[in-house]
Chain A
């Protein structure tokens, strides 16, 4: 088995980054790693754009009066923030960047099953993005990211169809990515890589892909119907023509609730990797964590009506949806418990990725628990459409997905770029982001519970409301600066960072058994897997070696015996 693994001495000088040069070699590449980097560029751009809108929202809410924007403009700002962040950042971020890069490597494959389709998915994504940006430049959309009818069909006079088209088109890129992952995971695992030896990152991407394939067509048809209704008044959603506006909400949330799991599941996969690897311990209850991903994917489809408790949906249906929503929290809780149990007596190190991982456990806990508040019908009637809901979903989407994305990006950065990021800057930024995030969103729970509605550019002049909003804006400023730090040093490190060894963290996974950055074909020899997932050195050996300071990690002997033999 030894000879199947790359050792640093044989690190090839040719890797996927320098194998070919020139714009064409990137734009026409079929290498999943390069496509991941194309996606990285795309999602970073949209994240920046969405972030600018977020700052505009926070500045407007600094004071009770609507002094920065007209209400019309404000409607466009939060709508565009939502559309860009949800459809063009959160949904593709982890699967299309980290998943694309790592799924083949982690299972020991040379590439995804359909490399051309993979490239196509990026072009489709960019096309969807450009259509949406076109809508923004022409004058914008103001329907909210949820495109609720009848506003979006009969009343709004903004660029609903164009923005909807952007969402429609970009959906196909999700479907293609999901398809590619499923086929790849089924058919291209290296010899010895059995299903229960798969890293949990792979399980969660498998579950995510199921949702992408089964759910995305529904959002596509739904926005298409909105467009048809708007243009041709066909009467699906318009009661005057025999339609029903609540039907739109059913169709929209049939996708969009599962879509929140498209966002969180990949992040849960990243965190499972981080927690196990930075505790140097097998994950507690591997199969529970693996199957909880599948359970979330399946049961996530049964709860959408919890977004519709006040929509005139039947109270009986509401009760079913409420009950099922409580049930779907169980597999999420399983993960949180198992992560915590993994930490117990682990040999925990607090490198930057792990800081994000630990942060996520706490933030997701708050986000998930408040989800249960909202799933209780009586309480939801009180807080629906208030800042309480806004705080809930930012705790899960930013506290969950963004933290996982940043943690994963740092963790695999040495593999992706072949360079180390500056560790102390990394930890500093992680702390700033954590503090900024909580300062931004915790006050929103409070002000929301007090009754401040979402989606208004002005609010009553109640002193405590303004105090809480000022805290939130201050937090957002800290968060914004915090986010700029990794952007700067990651770009800096691509050129000036210390060269990373094949296995800078001294870990057993397959991705650490090829050079950093990997060659185009990922492995010089097809790997044969003879070890279980997260099979670490016994503690006695760790004691002999001692715990290493991160700055020494790059020189850590990558052929450390405990994980090259099994």
Chain B
């Protein structure tokens, strides 16, 4: 395992970005963004959250400097998350399809 030395500066910059993201989430939550399209608030919040998570994985967890095998593991984790989302949403999206006689 080759150790990659990451300078403190990188950590502080990422930390700053995470704090900024948190504040941005807070500010965005106070605005009603529905005038853009319905549910825009959710999209904005999730985009910020995913960006932050990516930063943590790449820098704090050192994945950016890691071997291909590590990348494969990370990809597998994401793939499994996609499985969970895909099959869960197969429920939510198709719930309205069947019209019941009332």
Contacts and interface: CB of A to CB of B under 8 A. Distances in A.
Interface of A: 214, 218, 246-247, 250-251, 254, 301-302, 304-305, 312-317, 320-321
A322 to B, nearest CB: 13
Nearest to B73: A213
A305 B80 contact: no
A320 B90 contact: yes
Interface stretch (B7-15, B18-26, B92-100): B92-100
Tell me what chain B mostly uses at the interface: helix, strand, loop, or mixed.
helix
B94 A302 contact: no
Given A314-B97, A315-B98, A305 B84 contact: no
Nearest to A244: B92
B83 A313 contact: no
Contacts of A313: 91, 95
Interface in B49-102: 76-77, 80, 83-84, 87-88, 90-95, 97-98
Contacts of B76: 214
A246 B93 CA distance: 14
B91 A314 contact: yes
B91 A246 contact: yes
B interface, size bucket: 10 to 19
Contacts of A317: 87, 90-91, 94
A313 B97 CA distance: 12
A320 B92 CA distance: 13
Given A214-B76, A214-B77, A214-B80, A305 B87 contact: yes
B33 to A, nearest CB: 16
A88 to B, nearest CB: 25
Given A214-B76, A250-B88, A320-B90, A314 B83 contact: no
Contact of B90 (A246, A251, A254, A316): A316
Given A214-B77, A254-B84, A304-B87, 19 more contacts: A214-B80, A218-B84, A246-B91, A250-B84, A254-B88, A301-B80, A302-B87, A305-B87, A314-B92, A314-B94, A314-B95, A314-B97, A315-B94, A316-B97, A317-B87, A317-B90, A320-B87, A320-B90, A321-B87
A316 B84 contact: no
Instruction: State the 6 A-B residue pairs at the shortest beta-carbon distance, nearest first.
Output: A317-B91, A316-B94, A314-B95, A314-B94, A317-B90, A250-B88
Nearest to B86: A302
